[in-house]
Amino acid sequence: MATRQGRRGILSHAGYLPYRRLDRSGIAPVAGTGGGRGTRTVAGFDEDTTTMAVEAGRFAMRALPDARPGALYLSTTAPAYLDKTNATAVHAALRLGSEVVAADFGGAVRSSVAALRAALGGGEAVLAIGSDLRTGLPGSVDESGGGDGASALLVGGDEDGALLAELIGQGSATEEFLDRWRTPGDVRSKQWEEKFGETRYLALGEQAWTAALKDAGLGADGVDRVIVTGPHTRAVGSFAKRLAGTVAVDDDLAASVGYTGAAHPGLLLSGALDAARPGQVIALVSLADGADVLILRTTPELGAFRAARPVATQLGSGGDLPYGKYLSWRGFLTVEPPRRPEPGRVSASAANRSVEWKFGFVGSRAPSTGQVQLPPAVQLDEVLEAAPMSEIRGRVATFTVDRLAYSPSPPIVFAVVDFDGGGRLPLELTDLDAADVHIGDRVEMTFRKLFTVDGIHNYFWKARPVRD
């Protein structure tokens, strides 16, 4: 660790699991093959890697509201846009300052660990977010073994806040070999015969593991727990088994969540930090087109940290999704839409003018009356104050179920929401079934994609039931 200046590590962390769960036993009766035991997480029809990144980012920032990251990195293998940066929408939803850099680390699973390494390397505080949708053809291993989710790690030095875990060693190994691949535009990845990739990953993993331990000045017995993750299930299992003799290996959430790609290293690390005690050494091993090992030691400050929504809590709160609905949400099954015209595409200039409202969910407040105006009112006779509402909860004043309106997944459940402390807005509800809504229900805000027209994603906020 001689080359690094000052301590560097994790300031805050969060995972985000979408509400819906697909029971893998529902796959084979339809697809004729595939499936298995347990569940996987499924992003809502109104979620993509950008919206899930926002949710994870909000959780991480909520736990440390005074943090001021200088950069936002978004890593995904399933970007909502190509050519256009996706991190800027996350940046807007998190209301980061315009001086904060927002950039995508895209394409391969390894990008999220690479972004984390870059963030740990020094400089300003970085919010490193991994977010992924894992899709395979119906009946495939990628379909049943994949999961959707996001994770956010706020990385910095002592000058940025109290470190929860300090980086004490790292090692990497890189080699060109073909294990899995997807050509741009294809809906699924393909994989070479597993045993070949396994030989490469075990060798590269060993190399990186040894280098990281040396960097940390530890023997393997100095590591309390290890996280092993990567897209190659067999290699991950074999490598974990090798280490299991000397180190406690964390559950990789394969049975309940599935492998969430670029989100997974951060998701497992967040879960590990939720469960860890101060003074423990945690190693993260990522096997993805090479191997990366990061070794962290938790600090005394860990005990005072309160996660906004621990991964374990989210694991316990999910709703079933039938396989047919999953297929239609993923675009594998085209269902007859309501016979209504598609909405118009979003105006770029109009969206830019209202970026604080559309992405940040900031209304206005009239100082004279205290009334909260959603959307923000036009300034006339008095200077209005900003009223940030994304973290404010509310209750359902009344609601309706619209079976006629255009929606990517009808029917639309709409509620008039009264926010705590003032403000009212009719909002679409999400992450629930139409029969489950009642007047008086508590709701919280969530960043979603309303629809996509002309390839333009229309991001805005919806309300979902409070479940904690």
Chain residues 347-366 in contact with other proteins, contact rule CB under 8 A: 347, 350-351, 353-354, 357-358
Q: Which of 244, 248, 386, 401 binds other proteins (CB under 8 A)?
A: 401
Shortest reach from residue 260's CB to other proteins, in Å = 28
- Determine which residue in the list 426, 432, 444, 467 makes contact with other proteins, applying CB under 8 A: 426
Query: Near other proteins by CB under 8 A, which window of 26-34, 101-109, 289-297, 413-421?
Result: 413-421
Residues numbered 373 to 392 that lie near other proteins (CB under 8 A) are 373-375
Radius of gyration of the chain measured on its C-alpha atoms: 22
Q: Count residues binding other proteins (CB under 8 A).
A: 45
Q: Taking CB under 8 A as the rule, does residue 430 contact other proteins?
A: no
418 binds other proteins (CB under 8 A): yes
Between strands 126-132 and 71-76, the pairing is: parallel
Task: Please say whether the beta carbons of 80 and 457 come within 8 A.
Answer: yes
Does 450 engage in binding with other proteins (CB under 8 A)? yes
- Where does this chain touch other proteins (CB under 8 A) — which range of 74-82, 143-151, 182-190, 450-458? 450-458
407 interacts with other proteins by CB under 8 A: yes
Residue number with CB closer to other proteins (279 or 337): 337
Choosing from 322, 343, 370, 388, the residue that interacts with other proteins (CB under 8 A) is 343
When the beta carbons of 78 and 355 are compared against other proteins, the nearer one is: 355
Span interacting with other proteins, options 89-97, 186-194, 309-317, 456-464, rule CB under 8 A? 456-464
Q: Does 340 bind other proteins (CB under 8 A)?
A: yes
Selected range binding other proteins among 95-103, 171-179, 383-391, 419-427, rule: CB under 8 A: 419-427
Q: Is 70 in the site for other proteins (CB under 8 A)?
A: no
Q: Which residues bind other proteins (CB under 8 A)?
A: 339-341, 343-344, 346-347, 350-351, 353-354, 357-358, 371-375, 397-407, 412, 414, 416, 418, 422-426, 428, 439, 450-451, 458-460
